[in-house]
Amino acid sequence: MLYDYFQNITFANVWVLPFLIMLPVIVWLRYTTLGKIKSTLTLSTVQGINYRTAKNYLVHVPFWLRLLVLACLLLALARPQIRNVQSRNKGEGIDIVLCIDVSGSMLSQDFAPNRLEAAKSVAVDFVKSRPVDRFALVTFSGESFTLSPLTTNHEVVLQQIKSLKSGMLQDGTLIGEGLAKSVERLSSVGSAKSKVVILLTDGKEEAPDTRIIDPLTALQIAKVKGVKVYTVGMAGDPMAQRYTQNFTRTSNLDDALLQRMARETGGAYFKARDKEGLEVIYSQIDRLEKSSFERITKTRVEEQFMYLLLAALFFLFLEVILRYTYLRSFP
Residue 296 vs residue 316, higher pLDDT: 316
Answer yes or no: are the C-beta atoms of 141 and 172 closer than 8 Å.
Answer: yes
pLDDT tens per residue, range 204-235: 888 777 788 999 999 999 999 999 999 999 98
Answer yes or no: are the C-beta atoms of 204 and 235 closer than 8 Å.
Answer: no
Report the pLDDT value the prediction gives residue 203, as an integer from 0 to 100.
87
- Stretch 159-164: mean pLDDT: 95
Report the pLDDT value the prediction gives residue 155, as an integer from 0 to 100.
93
Report the pLDDT value the prediction gives residue 45, as an integer from 0 to 100.
59
Supply the mean pLDDT for the chain: 83
Cα–Cα distance list, 121 to 200, 275, 283, 311 (Å): 13, 9, 13, 54
pLDDT of 266 over the 50 cut: yes
Per-residue confidence at 236, pLDDT binned at 50, 70, 90?
Answer: confident
pTM: predicted TM-score of the whole model, two decimal places: 0.61
CATH number of 90-290: 3.40.50.410
Report the pLDDT value the prediction gives residue 210, as an integer from 0 to 100.
76
- Stretch 115-139: mean pLDDT: 93
Share of the chain above pLDDT 70, in %: 79
pLDDT of 59 over the 60 cut: yes
Domain residue ranges in the chain: 2-33+52-84+299-324, 90-290
Cα 238 to Cα 204: distance, rounded to the nearest angstrom: 17
What is the CB neighbour count within 10 angstroms for residue 263?
Answer: 13
Cα 66 to Cα 20: distance, rounded to the nearest angstrom: 14
pLDDT of 307 over the 50 cut: yes
Q: Look at strands 9-11 and 80-92 and give their pairing.
A: antiparallel
Report the pLDDT value the prediction gives residue 132, as an integer from 0 to 100.
82
**Among 1-5, 69-73, 182-186, where is mean pLDDT lowest?**
1-5
Cα 243 to Cα 222: distance, rounded to the nearest angstrom: 39
Report the pLDDT value the prediction gives residue 299, as an integer from 0 to 100.
73
